Amino acid sequence: MTGFRWISALLYSAVGVFFVWFGSCAVFLLLWLAGWDSIGTLPRMFLYHIKFFYLYFGVIALVYGGFLLLWFRFHPKTKWKFALMLTLGGFLIVSVSSYPCTLLYILHDMQAGFYPKNLWGAFFGQTRDFLLVGWSVVLLSFPLNLLAVFAFFFLTRKLTRIYDSGYEPAWADRWMRRRLR
């Protein structure tokens, strides 16, 4: 991958991060205004992930951006492999983002005054629990998870097509050529 293509992939990944973060926040707020509790909760769970939804959506968007950066470089060309790898990529994004989202939840818990007995054990010792809670919240977030799956496939496919066409915005091309001269 040449330098220009790498910078182009980084640019399109940043666009993907912005669309995922802004779109998920907008959809959540619209559903909330309509009176629909769209983010799932577990029993006896404090609602930090609903109060600070923009932070959790930001973490997921950044993980999606990292996935997109690698996806542009290594995505398969056949349709069935593309669909299969994209589906596995979606599962990977949820699994990977569960860990930092749970760490963020623990930090919010600590801000509220609930300190774990073993801080390092809480951060690093419960990885299986992090995955279970992350997947439980995703599966319980009914209309939001279906919209997210649709948006994930649509946005990734659209950005991949634009990236594969070799299109680079004129301002980005001028900026890169001026900086790399």
Predicted pLDDT at 170: 64
For residue 43, what are its two tokens? 């029993």
Torsion angle of the four alpha carbons 69, 74, 78, 82, in this order, in degrees rounded to the nearest 10: -50
Predicted pLDDT at 144: 79
Predicted pLDDT at 1: 46
Residue-wise pLDDT tens for the chain (181 aa)? Answer: 455 677 778 888 998 999 999 998 898 888 888 887 767 666 777 777 777 888 888 999 999 999 999 998 888 888 889 889 989 998 899 888 888 888 888 888 788 877 778 777 777 776 667 777 777 777 777 777 888 889 999 999 988 888 888 776 666 666 666 766 6
Reduced to 3 states (helix: H, G, I; strand: E, B; else coil), residue 36 is: coil
- pTM for the model: 0.83
Predicted pLDDT at 106: 81
Main-chain phi, psi angles of 96, to 5 degrees: -70, -40
